[in-house]
Amino acid sequence: MSAQFPVARPRRLRRTPALRRLVAETRLAPADLVLPMFVKEGIAEPQPVASMPGVFQHTLDSLRKAAHEAAEAGVGGIILFGVPAAKDGTGSAADDPDGIVQRALRDLASDLGDATVLMTDLCLDEYTDHGHCGILTGSGEIDNDATLERYASIALAQAEAGSAVVGPSGMMDGQVGAIRTALDGAGHTDTAILAYSVKYASAYYGPFRDAAECAPQFGDRSTHQQDPANTDESIREVLLDLDEGADMVMVKPAGAYLDVVRRVRDTVDVPVAAYQVSGEYAMIEAAAEKGWIDRERTIMESLTSIHRAGADIVLTYWATEAARRLG
């Protein structure tokens, strides 16, 4: 009597690194990665962000250098966030042609040429003294439609300074349509929109608020960002943004919302991005620093998982490091 052996042996294809590489279903490439970068006005030296080891608020000079390194590593794009020297109620530095992001864009556009895609986050929270993503009414609520006019103006300032892709992240209703109309009206028909269509009211943004100095001075963002309990709502947001003219859509955060990434990927026919946010970065860095996890393996596993879930493009603070490893 012969023993009963398994007929199928999936382990055969896992036996060697070469076999595993041959049958890998997901491959991350440097060009899939986008690096978020912070540039701060009025500082002489780059400043480390305490809750995000390895991430800096850049000067114009250090930004140029780091952007160069990213492009050299083959990173697909960089997305800029500005930290202005002065803030006010309407976030007037956001669309000032001499605002910090516009100055950085002009520098980088001439420096980098077409080596990587220059993108900009488009929101007001980094620029308002109250830290909210829009203009407030007298009673302290966000005035959706007044905010749209500000976003349209910021889009123009960013496009004129050289942003190839603007990324509205404020979750105001109608923001993509308002921005598209403004861009087209000014002849910027080639400026693309990466819509932060699906953006949850997430605790994972904690460290970002240090990096961008934009914690709300009162209240929170749950009247415009989405409830983590929902996913049908995300599909509705994505479809609305595509109707309004979005060229690409984003899900944010990434790691805790991989089901949403997959659902969006299965629903739309445009590129899907996912943003591995500051809290995802900080958790892995902190655990690695304590020696509790293998830093490099965890980073690459987290990025592969986001890509596998359906994100064509992954925004990550590890973009340059990961691209070097992959390249």
CA–CA distance, 20 with 27 (Å, rounded to integer): 12
Q: State the amino acid at position 64 in one-letter form.
A: R
Count CB-CB contacts under 10 A for residue 276. 27
40 noted as active-site residue: no
Per 3-state DSSP, the chain is made up of helix, strand and coil in percentages (nearest 5) of 45, 15, 40
Q: Of the listed pieces 13-21, 107-115, 118-126, 292-300, which binds ligand PBG according to CB under 6 A?
A: 118-126
| 290 noted as active-site residue | no
Q: Side-chain half-sphere of 222: how many Cα atoms within 13 Å?
A: 9
Annotate each residue in 191-230 with x if it binds ligand PBG (CB under 6 A) or - if it does not, as one string.
--------------x--x------------x---------
- Contact between 278 and ligand PBG by CB under 6 A: the answer reads yes
Q: Does 264 bind ligand PBG (CB under 6 A)?
A: no
Angle between helix 232-244 and helix 175-185 axes, rounded to 10 deg: 10
CA distance 77 to 67: 9
- Residue 237, marked binder: yes
Task: Name residues contacting ligand PBG, limited to 223-242 (CB under 6 A).
Answer: none
Q: How far is the CB of 265 from ligand PBG (least distance, A)?
A: 21
Q: Residues 158, 66, 251, 186: what is their CA dihedral angle, to the nearest 10 degrees? A: 10
In whole angstroms, how close is the CB of 61 to ligand PBG at the nearest point? 23
- Binder to ligand PBG among 59, 102, 169, 320 (CB under 6 A)? 169
Annotated binding residues for Mg(2+), written as ranges, equal: 237
The residues annotated as belonging to the active site are 199, 252
Q: Which parts of this chain interact with ligand PBG (CB under 6 A)?
A: 121, 123, 125, 169, 205, 208, 221, 277-278
Name the binding residues: 209, 221, 237, 278, 317
